[in-house]
Amino acid sequence: MSGLLPRLFDDMTDWFEVDFPRPLPVIRFEDKVADQEYVLRAELPGLDPEKDIRISALHGVLTVKAERREEETSRHRTEFRYGSLQRSVRLPQNADEDAIKATYRKGILEITVPLTAPQPAGRQITVTPDK
């Protein structure tokens, strides 16, 4: 029995050392909410906005995905760098998902989400006594 316990724990240390998939690194946002719009900005230098950046909005959640692929070839060697980034944020309740616009200028991604008039929080319901 004394030999079984160390052998059991040795087997478990191999299991704990397995490299599990890690989540993608997140994109850091700067955001600002005003009366008419919600604006998100992110630094994503060196990307091609048509190929490397994807933005989607579904059920009140905005998701930005970016992928960087760089390769440098010199006479005697080649260097490459690649990586993916992703970030999802919940949009304000009065966000107009159909009118979201995004621009990319000098390495800065700016997403503008128009906001509609705030919806009432609910309505008051009168309770009548049972007769």
- Return the domain boundaries, the chain: 24-114
Which residues are CB-neighbours of 32 under 8 A, at least 6 positions away? 38, 39
Residue in this structure with the two tokens 């900005």, named with its chain if needed: 41
| pLDDT, tens digit, 9 for 90 and up, residues 52-110 | 999 999 999 999 999 988 778 888 888 877 788 899 999 998 999 999 999 999 999 99
Res 30: pLDDT: 94
pTM for the full model? 0.67
DSSP summary character for residue 36: S
Class for the domain spanning 24-114: mainly beta
* SS3 at position 50: helix
